[in-house]
Amino acid sequence: MTGFSQGDIIKISGFKRRLFVIVSKNAFIRATGIFHVCPFIPGIPEGPIHITAAGRNGAQGTVICEQMKAIDPNARSCSKTDILEYSDIMNISDVIQGIFEYD
């Protein structure tokens, strides 16, 4: 177990002043030890695939859902800074699922 969960807002070494949101399901994280993240950027307007969200400890920004990347926390230093509310996690997951659905 990596100690990270879906909805965590994290910093990743090598990305100065940039936050990310973990979007992978917890079962995927437990099974693989890796997770997928999307950038969490303040000041970006909301849109169909850009979801505004707020962390429980005050982090605010927009999740850029089309910029999903896989991260191995054993290869990169990651630290948790905040966590999203469950309703925000659901909205983000719905958008990401919509990107990959069939026509």
pLDDT digits over 27-59, tens only?
999 999 999 999 999 999 999 999 999 999 999
Element (H or E) spanning 38, and its range?
A: strand 35-41
3-class SS of residue 94: helix
The secondary structure of residue 67, as a DSSP letter, is G
- Please name the residues in contact with 7: beta carbons below 8 A apart, sequence gap of 6 or more: 21, 22, 83, 84, 85, 86, 88, 89
- Band the pLDDT of 2: cuts 50, 70, 90: low
pLDDT score recorded for residue 1: 44
Residue ranges and CATH numbers for the domains of the chain are: 8-100 (2.30.30.110)
What does pTM read for this prediction?
A: 0.94
pLDDT digits over 6-30, tens only?
999 999 998 888 999 999 999 999 9
Here the tokens at position 40 are: 């969490």
